[in-house]
Structure 1
Amino acid sequence: MKLLRFGPKGAEKPGLLDAKGAIRNLSGVIDDLTGELLGDEALDRLRRLDTASLPLVDGQPRIGACVGQVGKFVCIGLNYADHAAESGMELPQEPVIFFKATSAIIGPNDTVEIPRGSVKTDWEVELGVVIGKEAKYLSEAEALNHVAGYCVINDISERDFQLHRSGQWVKGKSADTFGPIGPWLVTRDEVPDPQDLQLYLEVNGQRFQNGSTRTMHFGVATVISHLSQFMSLQQGDVISTGTPPGVGMGQNPPTYLKPGDRMELGIKGLGVQRQNVVKG
């Protein structure tokens, strides 16, 4: 299934994308795509619905983040060998973990704001993983069974804040609008191998990132298992698994976002995001 949330910010309703690409309203069935409603039993109930009987959503509503009320927004850094090389950093021996503030989360096509004082706002297309079952001290063999589904994430980053303003990476990752998620939550049964997905990102029609999850340093199962040794992962938590090469920081000369730019990014089978960039 392809699940989504639509409507004004803060008042999104749950929806389902039908076989013809139309949005069906799920608000008569569930309140939202959050927490326990992302578990296996809840998703199985949605699969058994007669999709054609669900109300059709007219027009082209705003699409919100495909998960509501996210508890943790966990990210993995330097998880593609070629991205680590372009960043001038060595591959880590264990996954590099950092957090984005959940207040950074926006819809996949919402406007991205360059924060005040920014000089190096950058892009990163990433595979997102949404947890559907509490995960604690998991083995790698168990890990993927705790996934509700997958989505597209743009891990927008301010490199000067991230690397030169002291402390950890969080301050360069957490500005408002720095976490577009969606458009869809694609349930794990439709993604048989999360290590075989093509990713891309373009700015103003120029392709900068063009990669595959096959080149991840730590695969999705390894990432989930590793995280679960240090914290429990709850239903509705989101993990952003790292970016392939082609970020602005890695260009020669470095290239960063500016007001008026337009980004397009996507992952095969998981949908496409499009964001206009404005001054914050």
Structure 2
Amino acid sequence: MSDDAETRTAIVTGAARGIGAAIALRLARSGHRVAVVDLHAHETVGTVDEIVAAGGQAIGIGADVASTDDAENAVSRVVEELGAPTILINNAGILRDNLLFRMSDADWDAVIGVHLRGAFVMSRAVQSHQVSAGWGRTVNLSSTSALGNRGQANYAAAKAGVQGFTKTLAIELGPFGVTVNAIAPGFIATDMLRETAERIGVTFEDFLAGAAKDIPVGRTGLPADIAAAAAFFVSEEASFVSGQVLYVAGGPKA
């Protein structure tokens, strides 16, 4: 049963796993039709199947969100198969961590491309449908790394850029009934961080335990914590909340 007055069509990028998958599932439980977007279509099958098994409606789409053509083609397919999208979750992301003197041009460009350019081209492709409907919700994923994090000059710059992008879109699109907000997760237990643990040579369990010691609430975050925040931002009740960055990090960050 939907939590909202109307069933809408949502696009969630980077939704094959982790935070994106959790958000896609949460939106589907609220009754929305969901386009599960990730780099490769076959990787979206698990999320799509879980939504469909629970009685929801979803499709999987493979797209490089940093590509204008891919983004526009993905949105066109959503329109044809699910209806015009008015909810957009820009979650797709990658890591290419390194200290500045070791960071390559390619690693910088890749991270800025997926996180920042990806949010731009997807938002541009969706906004016309939101404006036409006179209603829209865009939620961009930032990070506590936007405040600075050693070895993540590319990621931190992208996530800080997402916050400025969010506030600007909130100003531009607000008159058309569209809200734009950002979520800045802290330490969330995902496969992306599992890969980080492997890279630095510690077990995932030890990695989580070490991180939890520095979090006021005494635990690391879960994808469901971020999905709950996204569910609020896309709700009817959040119509007067726009241009905000919500740090979901188990304690004060910004």
Same fold (TM over 0.5): no
More helix by share: 2
Q: Which has the higher contact order (CA 8 A, sep 6+)?
A: 1
TM-score, normalization by structure 1? 0.28
TM-score, normalization by structure 2? 0.30
